Amino acid sequence: MKRITLLTIVVLFSALLFTGCEKKDAPKVYRLTYSIFFPPVHIHTKLAIQWAEEIEKRTDGRVKIEVFPGSVLSGASENYDCVANGVSDLGMSGLAYSKGLFPLTECLDYPMGYPNGATATRIANAFLEHFKPAEFKDTHILFLHAHGPGILASTKPIENLDAFKNLSIRGTGISSEIIKCMGGNAVGFPQGETFEALRKGVVQGTLCPIETLKGWKQGEVISDITTIPAIGYTTTMFVTMNLKTWNKLPDDIKQIITEVTQEWIPKHGQAWDDADTEGRQFVTELGRKFHAFSPEENEKTRKLLEPMFEAWIKETEAKGLPGREAVEFIRKELEKDGK
């Protein structure tokens, strides 16, 4: 009887020891938070969730990323700083919401005449790789993505510069400078507040990608859409990770995240273009009116915007940054796409 009891004790002890070893040897799971300013239904939120799921799959569950859309963890303008300070592990927002924080990269948002989101996104990441801007040094920058050419959506017809002058138009970052050059009054609102600003008449229009009219429902509170090729700007979005979070990850996980990210860059670029198509269809079904500046008005607009570039180059180079090289780099990249 004593022998059986002893044997039982030995078996139980061995089982406990084995279980303990299993727990000790189990792979560490990294649980990360991802703050996104886009609303939950937005295509780029959905892509971010798919990106997170793919990383979890390829790491065999060793990385689990919880996505918090709609600025729940951090507002659009605080997103980058919150990532840098560890409020969230990852963040996605627009460069334009933190004016002055990205003195070189903001050049991407200038009215370069981008033909579509795929091109703007490709050029943004080529720019990132070429210049490796020091302004991202407090985080591990993963990638950039950018929408197609901005349009003017308004609560009244605006078909020329005279009709534009003295109107209050929503714009942030570089788009606010465009508005000023064209003679309007720039009013800064994040996208989440623009619907109400348009509905209440606080602003009479907004510079935005056409996808915004569906993605943020702004098409419901405007009446007209005007195409102005000369403004052809984009708003560049960043996706970045807290530096300490990145540094603590094993090399194989870093490699997986980098590989998945490279696959997702063109997905985001194409998503902007798909969303633009859906946005146009959305406002068309709502019966909104479409206009375009005449060639003469467009040329006048282009000339009004020219001083922006020289002023930016002068200001940037005074800070010791390659301003002229940055502008020329983007223009050469555009030429590759037949621009």
Entry pTM: 0.84
212 and 250 inside one domain: no
- Indicate whether 12 belongs to any domain: no
42 and 118 inside one domain: yes
**256: containing domain:** 27-147+235-277
Separation CA 167–CA 183 (nearest Å)? 8
Non-local (6+) Cβ contacts of 183 within 8 A are 161, 164, 165, 166, 304
176 in helix, strand or coil?
Answer: helix
125 and 245 inside one domain: yes
CATH code of the domain covering residue 240: 3.40.190.170
Phi first, then psi, for residue 234 (nearest 5°) are -130, 170
Q: Are 108 and 124 in contact (CB under 8 A)?
A: yes
239 and 263 inside one domain: yes
Amino acid 18: pLDDT: 38
Give Cα separations from 282 to 202, 270, 275, 285, 286 (angstroms).
24, 18, 10, 5, 6
- Indicate whether 102 belongs to any domain: yes
> Percent of the chain at pLDDT above 70?
92
How many structural domains compose the chain? 2
List the pLDDT tens digit at each of the 339 positions of the chain. Answer: 344 444 334 333 444 443 444 455 789 999 999 999 999 988 999 999 999 999 999 999 999 999 999 999 999 999 999 999 999 999 999 998 888 999 999 999 999 999 999 999 999 999 999 999 999 999 999 999 999 999 999 999 999 999 999 999 999 888 999 999 999 999 998 888 999 999 999 999 999 999 899 988 999 999 999 999 999 999 999 999 999 999 999 999 999 999 999 999 999 999 999 999 999 999 999 999 999 999 999 999 999 999 999 999 999 999 999 999 999 999 999 998 764
Separation CA 35–CA 216 (nearest Å)? 18
Amino acid 17: pLDDT: 40
209 and 329 inside one domain: yes
- Indicate whether 155 belongs to any domain: yes
Non-local (6+) Cβ contacts of 231 within 8 A are 111, 149, 150, 152, 178, 207, 301, 305
Non-local (6+) Cβ contacts of 100 within 8 A are none
241 and 214 inside one domain: no
Separation CA 25–CA 316 (nearest Å)? 52
Query: 118-132 pLDDT, tens per residue?
Result: 999 999 999 999 999
269 and 292 inside one domain: no
202 and 239 inside one domain: no
Amino acid 172: pLDDT: 85
Query: 15-67 pLDDT, tens per residue?
Result: 444 344 445 578 999 999 999 999 998 899 999 999 999 999 999 999 999 99
